[in-house]
Amino acid sequence: MIKIQHLSKIFGTHQVLRDINLQVPKGQVVAVIGPSGSGKSTLLRCLNRLEEPSAGTVKINGTLLTAANCKLTQVRQKIGMVFQHFHLFSHKTVLENLVYAPIKIKGLSRQEAEIQAKTLLDRVGLADKMHVYPSKLSGGQKQRVAIARALAMEPEILLFDEPTSALDPEMVKEVLDVIKSLAHTGITMVIVTHEMRFAREVADRILFLAEGQLVEDEKPEVFFKKPASERAKAFLEKVL
């Protein structure tokens, strides 16, 4: 469960997020869409405090993430993040990418961690790439490994920041399919995406962000058929 209240973010003099209020119940899948520069990444990064909010509060399962004394590393273990540019550890093999945090942070034995990693790699269709370095993988493969790495910490929440935007078109589907397979399995998911069809199919709820404001918060059927705001209409006309 994510609870955001009066969240604002200012870079210098540039207000990037304006008074965001939002609750995401456990297990829900939320798609965040909006024009480039509207603050989608910043919003996502405030949810695990990779970005420091300027004002407002974020609660994760009742823990106040924005508290000064919050044990960030503990909360972050429960919040996986998948980045546009993958950010696999380039000096580690695929397997080492997956077992590193479970061993070092969760205290799993190497054997437990490796068994779990193999299961996860199977799940994303990359069991044969276990001992390969990231530089030898295609973009789609890297992103699937990145998803598996996040899953290895058994997160309750998964944040995706444009997971397919850096991919060649023919690799988009393999990644979206993996994400779809995770939806509605109990993990709360917040997905920033430009893939409108995917958002419509997978999300329980669409958030439309424009100039740092949460302009719409609707069911996909409603949002895509009859957006309430002019800004959302204009945006959808451009992208659909």
Place of tokens 């997956």: 98
Determine the distance from the C-alpha atom of residue 212 to the mean position of all C-alpha atoms in its chain, rounded to a whole number. Answer: 18
- Please name the residues in contact with 53: beta carbons below 8 A apart, sequence gap of 6 or more: 7, 8, 9, 17, 46, 66
Site string for another protein, 19-58 (x = CB under 8 A): -----------------------------x-x--------
By CB under 8 A, is residue 74 in contact with another protein? Answer: yes
DSSP-derived secondary structure for 114-129 = HHHHHHHHHHTT-GGG
Which option in ligand ADP, another protein, Mg ion, none does residue 226 bind, with CB closer than 5 to 8 A by kind? none
Contact region with another protein (CB under 8 A), list: 30-38, 81-89, 162-170, 221-229: 81-89
Task: In whole angstroms, give the CA distance from residue 231 to residue 209.
Answer: 9
- Say whether 204 sits in a helix, a strand or coil: coil
Does 60 participate in binding another protein (rule CB under 8 A)? Answer: no
Rounded CA separation 49/178 (Å): 26
Shortest Å, Cβ 41 to Mg ion: 3
Cβ closer to another protein: 145 or 207? 145
Residues 38, 41, 116, 193: which binds Mg ion (CB under 5 A)? 41
Rule CB under 8 A: which residues touch another protein? 48, 50, 73-81, 83, 85, 87-91, 100-101, 104-105, 133, 135, 146, 149-150, 153
